[in-house]
Amino acid sequence: MPITPIQELRHSAAHVLGAAVSRLYPEALLDIGPPTETGFYYDFGSSHRFSVEDFAAIEAEMARIIAEDQAFVRREVSRTEAQALFAARGQTFKLSRLGDIPEGEAISLYTNGDFTDLCAGTHVASTGKIGAFKLLSLAGAYHRGDEKQGQLQRIYGTAFSTAAELEAHLTSLAEAARRDHRKLGAQLKLFRVDAAIGSGLPLLLPKGAVIRAELEKLISAKLVDYGYERLYSPHIGSIDLYKTSGHYPYYAESMYEPIRIEEREFLLKPMNCPMHLMAYTAEPRSYRDLPQRYAEFGTVYRQEQSGELNGLVRVRGFTQDDGHILCTPEQLQDEFKACLRLVQEVMAIFGLKTRCRVSLRDPHNTQKYAGGDALWAPAEACIREVVAELGLEHTVGLGEAAFYGPKLDFMALDALGRSWQLGTIQVDFSLPERFELEYVGPDGLRHRPVMIHRAVFGSIERFMGLLIEHFAGDFPLWLAPEQIRFLPITDAQAEFARTLAIRARRAGLRATVDNGGDRVGGKIRVAQADKVPLLVVVGKREAEAGQVSVRSRRRGEEGVMSVDAFFERVAAELAEKEVAPVTAPAELAAPASA
């Protein structure tokens, strides 16, 4: 895939970062320095422990290299010459990367000034073309992602053609930091990740549990509408089950070590689909029984490197809103369309726009996929035909398919225009073949069903992380952990406030009373910090008249109204699952070149 101009600029900036670090820390070992979606990074092995305090000196050296307007010069060399160059410099990681280049393929070096790197390219003409740049953060990394090879230090940065674009991006990053779900999760007491429990194993606190319950309630209602039946599968399963499905060994590196029980090996459940296939085989099936739609909020466990763990969005244990459909080939397209409608309906509730990617096999590496062309061709044709019929805008990702079939992946765009990988709809002719699934057709003969794997949220934890950042913790009323807080002005109104809270709870609302000794202004400030959607002030006059004074986070002061009118107003908003506009101000939108 050709590199874009902004990627080329950022790739060049990564080389300048490598050159600057090499000047300042000559003993540093260099690994890789690629562009990313929003910037670039470079991985270093060094006895010097980098910190953000080092950024000023590194940026100053980068600025000098850019001011020197050094040309990026490409030259092809023999493998022997490249090995001699990097061996003489002690660059062991570069020697390792050199081994990745197949025999007969060109080996290219790029030089700017006194810095030479192993690189396929491409770059801008010279360092002076880089424009505006900024170093942003540090992280741990491993050579080839292998924890056994010693930790490297990754320096992240970004670069743009103009200072104005860079400034807009930095403003957007500041807003993203304000919305960081890890920070808000602690502030709003939604979840915690504690080493005493285990890295990557988030604990949802009561308020976070409310959000998850509401999300499950939403999907559960949709399951009824779309004709699914619920399953509950165990958290461990025989390794033989996953060998039959092909997940083991295809995904063995992401599974935990087997557990031995009475001479048999079991796995912490890495995915739900084999369990659902066993539900299908529990009884004989006729074409009249199909489609069979199964659904489960199934918790699975995956190995993730510690350096990649991130709050709720990258974890080791998570719950999928998993669905699997077994149908006849004739039913396949209609069932696929129904899954697509389900995803679109749910995303619309949250005000999320989605982008789609048709994820296909890599035609040059078919051995990494299960089944041959006879199984893949109709699966890929189904997705292409549905996408074309519905005029669905999409990109194509070669090599992004699951090992058992192609898929339609959904990326949701949040309030800052950032893309989050979420749900998926996958067409699978392979697993029914592996498990020898059958149904009796109208001709009285046995036939093979087709399988659809689908998830709307993908991971509920990840989706919660998205929502926390999308709404900046300011959830719509129906989703808010605490919907109403009653604020008596004095102790004399406390009993009336408690009566209102009891009425609210009996109506299924999540309501509390602030009986603290603060003045009402202080109570309001605390409730605003807690991001409670509705604050109800109860003073002497309101209590005597059976009224309340309402302040909304969305609309501001709503004035005094009767108690009945207030509860009618709440019921109307909840009935529509109304979502407040959450688009960030224009100046915070991601620059077009990002």
The catalytically annotated residue of 153, 292, 320, 483 is 320
The verdict on residue 505 lying in a domain is yes
The rounded distance, in Å, linking the Cα atoms of 551 and 267 is 52
What is the pLDDT confidence band of residue 593, given thresholds at 50, 70 and 90? very low
What is the pLDDT confidence band of residue 587, given thresholds at 50, 70 and 90? very low
Q: What is the pLDDT of residue 485?
A: 98
Does residue 291 have a cis peptide bond before it, meaning omega lies within 30 degrees of 0?
A: yes
Under 8 Å CB-to-CB from 369, ≥6 apart: which residues? 361, 376, 401, 403, 404
Q: What is the mean pLDDT of the chain?
A: 92
The catalytically annotated residue of 70, 123, 212, 273 is 273
- DSSP 8-state assignment for residue 493: G
Q: Are residues 396 and 306 in the same domain?
A: yes
pLDDT single digits (tens) 9-65? 999 999 999 999 999 999 999 999 999 988 999 999 999 999 999 999 999 999 999
Q: Which pair of structure tokens corresponds to residue 280?
A: 């299908």
Q: What is the pLDDT of residue 253?
A: 85
Q: What is the pLDDT of residue 594?
A: 27
Residues 552-564 have a mean pLDDT of 93
- pTM comes to 0.82
Structure-model confidence comparison of residues 515 and 295, the more confident one = 295
Q: Are residues 464 and 490 in the same domain?
A: no
Known catalytic membership, residue 453: yes
Q: Which pair of structure tokens corresponds to residue 286?
A: 């006729």
The rounded distance, in Å, linking the Cα atoms of 295 and 276 is 8
Q: What is the pLDDT of residue 2?
A: 67
What is the pLDDT confidence band of residue 579, given thresholds at 50, 70 and 90? low
Q: Which of 557, 487, 591 is nearest to 10 (CA)?
A: 591
Q: Are residues 193 and 131 in the same domain?
A: no
pLDDT single digits (tens) 475-488? 999 999 999 999 99
Residues 178-207 have a mean pLDDT of 96
Q: Are residues 502 and 401 in the same domain?
A: no
The catalytically annotated residue of 324, 361, 523, 531 is 324
Known catalytic membership, residue 320: yes
CATH number of the domain to which 522 belongs:
3.40.50.800
For residue 311, give its domain range: 185-233+272-470
Q: Are residues 358 and 300 in the same domain?
A: yes
Known catalytic membership, residue 447: no
pLDDT single digits (tens) 350-379? 989 899 999 999 888 877 888 888 999 999
The residue among 116, 146, 161 that closes a domain is 161
Q: How many domains does the chain have?
A: 3
For residues 190 and 468, is the Cβ–Cβ distance under 8 A?
yes
Q: What is the pLDDT of residue 588?
A: 38
Under 8 Å CB-to-CB from 301, ≥6 apart: which residues? 235, 256, 268, 269, 270, 316, 317
Known catalytic membership, residue 324: yes
Q: Are residues 463 and 332 in the same domain?
A: yes
Q: Are residues 15 and 89 in the same domain?
A: yes
The rounded distance, in Å, linking the Cα atoms of 228 and 338 is 12
The catalytically annotated residue of 31, 321, 322, 514 is 322
Q: Is residue 181 over pLDDT 50?
A: yes
Q: Are residues 442 and 525 in the same domain?
A: no
Residues 138-164 have a mean pLDDT of 90
The catalytically annotated residue of 15, 453, 462, 485 is 453
Q: Is residue 583 over pLDDT 50?
A: no
The catalytically annotated residue of 97, 143, 212, 407 is 407
The verdict on residue 266 lying in a domain is no
CATH number of the domain to which 33 belongs:
3.30.980.10
Known catalytic membership, residue 407: yes
